[in-house]
Amino acid sequence: MLPSQRALFDIPRDVCFLNAASWSPLPLAVQEAGRAAVGRKGQPWKLESNFQSQQYERARKAAAALIGADPADVALIPSVGYGVATAGKVMAIPRGSRVLVLQDDHTSPVLEWMSRAETGGYTVETVKQPADGDWTSAVLEAIERPGAAPLALVSISSVHWSDGGALDMPRIATAAKAKGAALLVDATHDAGVRRIDVKSLDPDFLIFPTYKWVLGPYGRAFMYVAKRRQTGVPLEQISASRKAVSAEDTVYFRDTSYVEGARRYDMGERDHFISLEMAAVGMEMMAGWGNDPIVARLSMLTDRLADGLANSGVRVIDKKLRAPHVLSLQFPQGMAQDLPKRLAAENVYAAPRLGRLRISPHVYNDEEDVDRFVETFKRVAR
């Protein structure tokens, strides 16, 4: 099990921050990378000509390492929504087919398909939130539903952001593939924590941002694109995705054919090296710790939370169905609206999410945080 990494962060002992699923604190090393990068932008004449490309290839490699991808299959993008919009442009959803999404999944893997459904002549089918927390069975049932329209796409998060349910993606990927459907995975609450191997999972797209679990800044996200989807038209038309469009050449539009690999989907202004270096450092830290030691630590913490909160009137998803790093408390009588505020007044931070209280520890949390949460919760939730 990974020991607590609190010393690598700037978190005072009296702060009990259990809200990484909203936004993680930046490790000191990531903050330092950001400060140094701002300084470099202050004196840009000192940069080597290959500086930017080294930066974005380092970040691409770090992102690829977290999901078992070849860096050539990873695009640099600014947000999950941007990646899904790219997928929406690249994939044709046949008329009369259906796209599966999860009930109350985050907007990013959902709204793209909803907004295209009417003109595209297909339906978006929502998998209802299962009462027993078993999202995997609910999705498999929806994939297999007899008499349903042909399945074109499954566009889902692999860990549900609000209830913390963990989906068994290998089983879902196999079932979707058997139906000839494409798979888009929003791995926002998964990449860097649970083990992901895109080579065996074989999704069409898998996307994650850096500002939550992989300890990076806003405005940076990464998109794995399967080779079979690497011939589409990118969302933006920029010089970087063309083979030879260079301001330093004597002919500007020398070769406008697209570059090979997922790079064709890279965002404009990908050279933003301040956030790129920060993103790379955070992802490299996560890779250095490794999935299994991280999962061991975070599941130890969420199990301890669940044990401590037993008999306090809240319900949680069964251990084998929930993510190791997200514990969402359900209140059969409803959650007091000001509960998160009352906790925050005691320097204890968790997030209200769709009527639940979402607790999401990360590598900087320890048993003291958990015990503090339990004690404070029992006192202020009364």
Ligand X SMILES: Cc1ncc(COP(=O)(O)O)c(C=O)c1O
What is the contact surface with ligand X in residues (CB under 6 A)?
Answer: 79-81, 106, 108, 157, 161, 186, 188-189, 209, 221
Tokens 């939130």 found at: 129
CB of 243 to ligand X, least distance (A): 29
d(CA 356, CA 274): 36
Give the residue among 242, 352, 289 at the shortest CA–CA distance from 3: 289
Least Å distance, CB 154 to ligand X, is 15
Whether residue 242 contacts residue 230, with contact meaning beta carbons closer than 8 Å, is answered with no
Q: Least distance in Å: CB of 352 to ligand X? A: 13
Q: Of 162 and 230, which CB lies nearer to ligand X in the complex structure?
A: 162
Distance of closest approach, residue 158 Cβ to ligand X, in angstroms: 9
Q: What minimum distance in Å lies between the beta carbon of 235 and ligand X?
A: 13
Question: Among residues 188 and 299, whose Cβ is nearest to ligand X?
Answer: 188
Comparing CB distances to ligand X, the nearer of 108 and 230 is 108
Residue number with CB closer to ligand X (188 or 241): 188
By beta-carbon proximity to ligand X, the closer residue of 294 and 326 is: 326
Q: For the CB of residue 45, give the shortest distance to ligand X in the complex, in Å.
A: 34
For the bound state, the minimum distance from the C-beta of residue 9 to ligand X, rounded and expressed in Å, comes to 21
Instruction: Select 34 or 219, whichever has its Cβ closest to ligand X.
Output: 219
Nearer CB in complex with ligand X: 190/366: 190
